[in-house]
């Protein structure tokens, strides 16, 4: 390199610029590698988060169905009580009418 610099100083400047550009490219390559590693890690984290959200949604749907079932039970019980009461009153009226007729 010394010999080239003394013979043609322009080659020495060009060589220095090439070496500087090589170093710059190496740093840029390392920086890009770090960015891609970070992006890859974020993608993996995102996939894990999405799976967790899906699990939460499934559990929430299950809980919603269970709550709906539990809240409808008292209504069904009440309807059953009313239904049985109506049949009991109807049976009493029929028995009373049959007793009046003499059967």
**For a pLDDT cut of 90, what percent of the chain falls above it?**
47
Structural domain tally of the chain? 1
Nearest 5 degrees, angle CA 61-CA 66-CA 71? 125
pTM assigned to the model: 0.47
Phi, psi (rounded to 5 degrees) for 8: -140, 100
What pLDDT was estimated at residue 26?
A: 92
Per the structure, the complete domain to which residue 89 belongs is given by 2-101
CA-to-CA dists, residue 58 to 47, 54, 65, 99, angstroms: 17, 6, 11, 61
CA 46, 52, 58, 63 torsion-angle sign: negative
CA-to-CA dists, residue 34 to 22, 26, 41, 44, angstroms: 18, 12, 11, 15
**For a pLDDT cut of 70, what percent of the chain falls above it?**
89
């Amino acid at each position: 390199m010394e010999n080239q610099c003394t013979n043609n100083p322009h080659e020495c400047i060009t060589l220095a610029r090439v070496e500087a550009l090589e170093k710059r490219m190496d740093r840029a390559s390392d920086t890009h590698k770090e960015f891609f590693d970070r992006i890859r890690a974020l993608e993996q984290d995102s996939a894990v988060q999405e799976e967790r959200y899906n699990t939460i949604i499934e559990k929430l749907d299950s809980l919603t169905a269970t709550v709906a079932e539990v809240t409808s039970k008292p209504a069904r019980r009440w309807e059953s009580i009313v239904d049985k009461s109506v049949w009991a009153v109807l049976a009493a009226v029929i028995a009373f009418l049959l007793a009046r007729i003499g059967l």
